[in-house]
Structure 1
Amino acid sequence: MLKKVNIALSSVVLLVATGIGTQAQAADGAELYKTKTCWSCHGKDAKTPIMPIYPKLAGQNADYAFNQMKDIKSGARSNGQTAAMKGVMGLVNEEEMRAIADWLSTQE
């Protein structure tokens, strides 16, 4: 049984090391962007927000986007633009925020 676990673990490490795991993460970020309702305001393509005051998220630096989401969720960022986001941020955890931010950074 231990040998099977070690083989499975080795396979996961190999997949991630070769970049196959990153494709799954990117797909997860795209799916989370939809299921967590980000697209409702920022547009299905993350480039066409429903209001001009909402930011275009496609191509955004992943760390910047992740930190903005974290700050909005924690209340560290609480300007006028964050009121609408505050409720939505309750739907995502940090791992999901990271996946969304990473995916957004790959969009052009």
Structure 2
Amino acid sequence: MMLKRLLPMALALSISTPTLALDGAALFKERTCFTCHGKDAKTPIMPNYPKLAGQNAEYALQQMKDIKSGARNNGQTAAMKAVMHLVNDDEMKAIAEYLSKLK
């Protein structure tokens, strides 16, 4: 009887509890993005690596997904493909949003 009363409350709490937003800035560092793209996302280590600061979030997200899946596979994606297993879809979205807000 007590369980029947607690179950609806537990469900209500789980539904109403907001999901914590991922920190794109922290993920950019934790997932080693800065190593190649620069701490400010504007100073990549190689001139042919893209500057990511201010990039359109949807575009950046799609590029990350394409590199991870192998849909985008050119000479410059090889290094990034090697680390994409560290990043899930939600983290990619948070990183893309973070990058889009950089100036």
Gaps (5+ residues) in structure 2? 1-5
Distance of 1:51 and 1:77 partners within structure 2 = 19
Counterpart of 2:78 in 1: which secondary structure? helix
Superposed CA RMSD in Å reads 1.8
Out of 68, 71, 87, the residue aligned to residue 92 of structure 1 is 87
> What are the residue-to-residue correspondences of 1:23-42 with 2, within 5 Å?
24-25=21-22, 28-42=23-37
Deviation at 1:3, TM superposition (A): 3.9
- TM-score between both structures, scaled by the size of structure 2: 0.83
Letter in 2 for 1:62: A
Percent identical residues: 64
> What are the residue-to-residue correspondences of 1:27-106 with 2, within 5 Å?
28-106=23-101
Distance of 2:58 and 2:82 partners within structure 1 = 21
Relative distance call for 1:90 and 1:7 in structure 2 (3 A) is closer
Gaps (5+ residues) in structure 1? none
Distance of 1:11 and 1:93 partners within structure 2 = 22
After superposing on structure 2, the runs of 4+ consecutive aligned residues of structure 1 that deviate more than 2 Å are 1-12
Deviations 1:29-80 (A, max 9, x none): 1100000000000000101111111100001011100000000011100011
> What are the residue-to-residue correspondences of 1:11-30 with 2, within 5 Å?
12=18, 24-25=21-22, 28-30=23-25
**Higher helix residue share:** 1
Deviation at 1:94, TM superposition (A): 0.8
Letter in 2 for 1:59: G
Distance of 2:17 and 2:82 partners within structure 1 = 39
Counterpart of 1:81 in 2: which secondary structure? coil
Task: Indicate whether 1:6 and 2:6 are aligned.
Answer: no
Query: Which structure has the larger Rg over C-alpha atoms?
Result: 2
